[in-house]
Amino acid sequence: MSNLSKETKLTLLYILVAFTFSVLMRLIWVYQFDGYEPFIFNGQFMINTNDGYYWAEGARDLLLGTGTNPDAKEYFDHFHQLHDLSPVDTAAAQVTAFFAYVLPFSFESIIFYLPAFLSSLVVVPVILIAKSLKNLEMGLIAALLASIAWSYYNRTMVGYYDTDMLNIVLPMFLLWSIIWAIRTKQDIYLLLTALDILVYRWWYPQSYALETSFFGLILLYTLIFDRENRYNYKLLSMMLFAMMGLPEYIRFIIVLIAYIAFKKESMQKYIYHILAFAMVLYFGTGGFTPIWGKLKGYVFKDAISVGKEGLKLHFFTVKQTIREVGQIPFETLANRISGHPAIFVISLIGYAYLSFRHKIMILALPLVGLGLLASVGGLRFTIYAVPVLALGIAFLITELSSLLPNAKLKIISMMAFTIAILFPNYTHIEGYRVPTVFSATEVKTLDKLKHIADREDYVIGWWDYGYPIRYYADVKTLADGGKHSGSVNFPLSYILTKPQDVAAKMARLDVEQTEKSYALRDANKDLIQLSTIEQMTTEHGLKDTNDFLLALETDDIKLPKKTRDIYFYLPYKMMNILPTINLFSNIDIMNGKQGKRPFFFVSRHFKDMGDKINFGSNIYLDKKRWQVVVREQRVPLKRFTKTVYDKNRKLHVDEKLFNVTANLNVIFMSNYNTYLIVDDAMYNSLYIQLMVLEKADPKLFEAVNLTPRVKIYKLKI
């Protein structure tokens, strides 16, 4: 340390301070829930993001394959089953497996705390960028704010085990290497920039859009401000070589060859030729195609997707139901990026002023632009603008403080302004007490199922629960956070919201057809994959899926041979999204017309007023006439059902029938303090019958594990 310059020592100190601050802020959640049993399984906190179980599954299977796991003998040669969708070849799983292999902590602890430590690395490039601008104080202030700003904290807190833990760190390092490359013109930054792109693409394959934006802006910056600088054309060439749509190892070799070539004096006259060659390779290996595909997916969203082959079926798209890809208001955008609308506006002004004073910071525009795209693209994009706008407001703070007459006042003012911009974000952190994905009770049911089901068996549940189901029960699923297109969700929705007999048949058909599709794809990689529902239709000699569904309801469909067992995962919390689940099958998939929505209302804040029960939202039950009043319209009640658990946790159902011709039913789930008001379609659905009422048809279903929070059944056909 004694040989380091004062500036370097101060840089390292600021990085250490900001990193420690970032990690400590993320430990507030741990302090708040210390010892809270519902969030703890096997003595460890569980994670709080569904997607995290995807990477955890891959890391777990990789560790099983190394033989380091005590259960590895069973899986050493084949540590994950064919077509189980385990992401063993992804960067997040491989990095996690590495840390779990070398660190003396439990696997659960590593996936829980890893986001807090990896995401806090964002302070390093932020401070290094400020160092290049000769303003370390700006770097420290910006690092403190960037590390805990709303959206960045939300997606990198303890337990939020996802690729977001490095999705901002890596592009900020890329921005740093680009800035230092252009400012210093040192050859080493040509290589560092290319390597950063390679690592970023390896970690997050969707990074090509941001990489291409950086390339385009550097090209524009060069043509406007630095046209004669040949070094910038070398940088652009290296970026293109790293960005090509080729396997990582090929791009790495090409990058090394190009780097060696650029260091030779004899190659300087060919710089423009190499750039042109790099452009040809870039566009020839994919270029802009995947970027346009992503833009269409996030910005130009359609409610109904239409197949391009075969029957051209119409399906309801899942992106219409995901909050993080929906449009958000200005206040939400501002809060998530900076913590408060005023701070956000000042940050924008600060970034504009910073770019005016240091034109090199114009190169950060892709990150700012992607963050602002959240206004139409959804919440997930806001994190990209966080560190750059943090630099903007930090620059204003240091500039204003520099106007003060002495160093003491300067320091006091910077501290005061910093506390002011940090406070709204700290307040958010203190109040952001998000739960784990599953409760300990829910996980215990899956852990028991793990010892009952075979690894080739399927568990049917909505796609939200796909990853956790696979992680804890070590089984297969039909849908998950990455496999939930409208065509995948149609049969799942049909299973969960239709009567037991047709739901059971659809479950067997969908599972067997899914496995058959895998086999067909393995035999012919170029085969066009049709949806399972379309394959079911055509294989039964029909050209109209409605005819197939009618045949399914009238027992005119022969079921395929059973090759594995099927289980149903039915949690109580699925009730909150049952109307949304219904949307995916409540559609004529031959023409895309949505069906009439079934009546489904949940009331947990009701008031019993003697002769009536007020459910809220202008809906109440008239107990004298046994009618349901919906917005002043009286509807006769068909049945009133009450469920109650006894001391042995056995469910008892008391049902009173009032009007057999009516279509509306009230269910009082007394132990949950919940009322359901549903029509016959929803009352007779598999979910209501099996989860709420435990009225499973013994010819079709066998109870495996029935708890108040989760019901698991086994299909018998």
Predicted pLDDT of residue 309: 59
627 and 613 Cβ atoms separated by less than 8 Å: no
The residue-averaged pLDDT of 675-695 equals 97
The residue-averaged pLDDT of 382-390 equals 97
Residues 81 and 64: their CA atoms lie apart, in Å, by: 12
The residue-averaged pLDDT of 480-488 equals 91
Residue 651: closest CA among 576, 591, 711 = 711
510: tokens are: 């969908």
At 70, the pLDDT band (50, 70, 90 cuts) reads very low
Residues 511 and 488: their CA atoms lie apart, in Å, by: 11
Query: Domain 440-583, what architecture?
Result: 3-Layer(aba) Sandwich (3.40)
The residue-averaged pLDDT of 209-221 equals 91
CA distances from 225 to 1, 132, 287, 353, 647 (A): 39, 19, 26, 18, 78
Predicted pLDDT of residue 529: 77
Q: What share of the chain is helix, strand, coil (3-state, %, to 5)?
A: 60, 10, 30
Residue 225: closest CA among 217, 235, 215 = 217
Q: What is the mean pLDDT of the chain?
A: 91
User: Could you report the per-residue pLDDT of 21-69, keeping only the tens digit for each?
Assistant: 999 999 999 999 999 999 999 999 999 999 999 999 999 999 987 544 4
338 and 354 Cβ atoms separated by less than 8 Å: no
User: Could you report the per-residue pLDDT of 266-282, keeping only the tens digit for each?
Assistant: 888 889 999 999 999 99
The residue-averaged pLDDT of 212-223 equals 92
The residue-averaged pLDDT of 547-567 equals 92
Residue 176: closest CA among 404, 419, 363, 381 = 363
432: helix, strand or coil: coil
Predicted pLDDT of residue 198: 96
Question: What SS3 string covers 17-85?
Answer: HHHHHHHHHHCHHHHHCCCCHHHEECCEECCCCCCHHHHHHHHHHHHHHHCCCCCHHHHCCCCCCCCCC
Which letter does DSSP use for residue 383 in this model?
G
The residue-averaged pLDDT of 157-178 equals 97
The residue-averaged pLDDT of 482-495 equals 94
Helical axes 486-497 vs 532-539, angle rounded to 10°: 80
Residue 292 has pLDDT above 60, yes or no: no
Residues 302 and 336: their CA atoms lie apart, in Å, by: 26
Question: How many C-beta neighbours within 10 Å does residue 268 have?
Answer: 12
Domains of the chain by residue range: 6-32+105-431, 440-583, 596-685+702-715
Question: How many C-beta neighbours within 10 Å does residue 41 have?
Answer: 21
Question: How many C-beta neighbours within 10 Å does residue 100 have?
Answer: 24
Residues 154 and 137: their CA atoms lie apart, in Å, by: 26
259: tokens are: 């780097």
Beta bridge partner(s), residue 41: 44
Which letter does DSSP use for residue 649 in this model?
-
Predicted pLDDT of residue 307: 58
- The single-letter code of the amino acid at 507 is A
Residue 387 has pLDDT above 70, yes or no: yes
Residues 285 and 281: their CA atoms lie apart, in Å, by: 6
Question: How many C-beta neighbours within 10 Å does residue 563 have?
Answer: 12
Q: What's the predicted TM-score (pTM) here?
A: 0.89
666 and 628 Cβ atoms separated by less than 8 Å: yes
End-to-end CA distance of the chain: 71
% of the chain surpassing 90 pLDDT: 79
Sign of the dihedral defined by the CA atoms of residues 645, 646, 647, 649, in that order: negative
Residue 83: closest CA among 536, 521, 559, 461 = 521
At 373, the pLDDT band (50, 70, 90 cuts) reads confident
Range with lowest mean pLDDT among 237-251, 309-323, 444-458, 651-665: 309-323
User: Could you report the per-residue pLDDT of 490-528, keeping only the tens digit for each?
Assistant: 999 999 999 999 999 999 999 999 999 988 888 877 777
Residues 161 and 173: their CA atoms lie apart, in Å, by: 21
Predicted pLDDT of residue 73: 44
Residue 265 CB contacts under 8 Å (≥ 6 apart), including other chains: none
> What burial class does residue 656 get, using C-beta atoms within 10 Å of its C-beta: 0-12 exposed, 13-18 middle, 19+ buried?
exposed
CA distances from 609 to 559, 603, 606, 613 (A): 51, 15, 10, 6
Residue 344 has pLDDT above 70, yes or no: yes
Which letter does DSSP use for residue 122 in this model?
G
| DSSP count for the chain of H helices, then E strands | 32, 20
349 and 343 Cβ atoms separated by less than 8 Å: no
150 and 374 Cβ atoms separated by less than 8 Å: no
664 and 684 Cβ atoms separated by less than 8 Å: no
Predicted pLDDT of residue 76: 39
Which letter does DSSP use for residue 105 in this model?
S
Range with lowest mean pLDDT among 139-153, 296-310, 347-361: 296-310
Residue 310 has pLDDT above 60, yes or no: yes
The residue-averaged pLDDT of 433-453 equals 95
CA distances from 693 to 185, 506, 698 (A): 71, 21, 14
Beta-strand relationship, 566-571 and 458-460: parallel
Residues 416 and 18: their CA atoms lie apart, in Å, by: 17
153: tokens are: 């904290």
Residues 200 and 387: their CA atoms lie apart, in Å, by: 17
Angle at Cα 46 formed by Cα 45 and Cα 50, nearest 5°? 160
53 and 482 Cβ atoms separated by less than 8 Å: no
Burial 680-717 (b: 16+ CB within 10 A, else e): bbbbbbbbbbbbbbbebeeebbeebbbbebbbbbbbee
570 and 687 Cβ atoms separated by less than 8 Å: yes
Predicted pLDDT of residue 358: 96
606: tokens are: 């009701």
Range with lowest mean pLDDT among 286-295, 350-359, 443-452: 286-295
